[in-house]
Amino acid sequence: MNIAKNKIDIRSLSLNALQEHFIRMDEKSFRAKQVYEWLWKKSCFSFNEMSNISKELRTKLDENFVINNVKINTSQVSADKTIKNSFILHDTHLIEGVLIPTPGRMTACVSSQVGCSLTCKFCATGYMERKRNLNPDEIYDQVVLIDQQARENYGIPLSNIVYMGMGEPLLNYKNVIDSIERITAEDGLNMSPKRITVSTAGIAKMIKKLGDDEVKFNLALSLHAANDEKRNTIMPINEQNSLKALAEALKYYYAKTKNPVTYEYIIFDGVNDGIQDAMELAKFCKHLPCKVNIIEYNPISFASYINADEDKVEAFANYLTKQGINTHLRRSRGKDIDAACGQLAIKEKSKTVEV
């Protein structure tokens, strides 16, 4: 354990920084590019597997660097073939990620933090303490492992990635952006940014930063109410990020990126399921091009919310559609194994592992 602590996390280095380390080790700088390719393009977790690198250099790498790769701790398979994973990190923290197979797509739902600090009242992760942010490579590893799972179990590679697991992605902004850069880079996983969606509870200033950075991936906002009083109750983050502030930030984001926004809306029984709520949502949708995903609620033991009746959900969706709003009803996947939206929460303790 102490030896590993003295080593450099090799995936925290840019290619230029790695080349500088190689020069200091009296190695050719082009060797750094070979190693970099093994780390990112080939998703290699062991120096010994780098077959075009000499044994002597592999030994040097092992003496000076460490690959802090994520490992699958446990996996559960749902009746609908969704697979929920508990991942163990190098420091023994646990996170969760999900493989969601649906007709026409294979989606990885990945986490961006260990726990969460936002305390959304309907979300199991919100009742956990936020331990730390995930590093870019820890997010990347979730994608790699879930892709392997998709290929091994269903013979189909990943087609989509959603940052909708544990944590608030925009409160881990740099690492999330860096992870997407590695996932979409030609010398990384080479996935299209249009296949990636980052979901936020609504941090207005960071939404504006996404616009300034002219990101190419998709943005989803967990809205759940278009009324400040109701949203404050459901999502305390709204007290510092009002609907007016979010609307301004989203309009700024759209002006910079021309990317439509997706609004996620869970309909809770007796809370936000009325036609008045639908009218308020329709009004909010007029700010910029968007679509609405109406999501089935998945009850958790920490909260008293329940899913709205089917007829109310249909009436809500029909109202939005009649207002010309692109509206989709999303059915939950994996709720029998607590893998559905809002259900991710570690129920086991971190394990002590050899590092």
Given the structure tokens 């961006």, which residue do they identify? 112
Given the structure tokens 């960071």, which residue do they identify? 206
Secondary structure E strands in 25-104: 65-66, 71-77, 83-88, 94-102
Strand 196-200 and strand 160-163: pairing?
parallel
Q: Is 223 annotated as a binding residue?
A: yes
Q: Is 168 annotated as a binding residue?
A: yes
Q: Is 160 annotated as a binding residue?
A: no
The CA distance from 222 to 200, in Å, is: 6
Q: Which tokens hold the place of 82?
A: 């969704």
Q: Which tokens hold the place of 341?
A: 């939206």
Of the candidates 109, 285, 290, 341, the residue annotated as catalytic is 341
285 classed as catalytic:
no
Q: Is 116 annotated as a binding residue?
A: yes
Q: What share of residues in the chain are helix, strand, coil (percent, to 5)?
A: 40, 20, 40
Q: Is 21 annotated as a binding residue?
A: no
Of the candidates 96, 138, 280, 296, the residue annotated as catalytic is 96
Q: Is 227 annotated as a binding residue?
A: no
The CA distance from 208 to 214, in Å, is: 10
Q: Is 43 annotated as a binding residue?
A: no
| Neighbour count for residue 279 (Cβ, 10 Å) | 14
Q: Is 190 annotated as a binding residue?
A: no
The CA distance from 79 to 176, in Å, is: 31
Element (H, E) at 222: strand 218-222
Straight-line distance from the first to the last Cα atom of the chain, in angstroms, rounded to the nearest whole number: 5
Element (H, E) at 88: strand 83-88
The CA distance from 96 to 345, in Å, is: 8
310 classed as catalytic:
no
The CA distance from 79 to 74, in Å, is: 17
The CA distance from 314 to 311, in Å, is: 5
Burial class for 81, CB neighbours closer than 10 Å (0-12, 13-18, 19+): middle
Give the annotated binding-site residues.
Answer: 116, 120, 123, 167-168, 199, 222-224, 298
Binding site residue list for [4Fe-4S] cluster: 116, 120, 123
Numbered residues of the known binding site for S-adenosyl-L-methionine: 167-168, 199, 222-224, 298
Catalytic residues: 96, 341
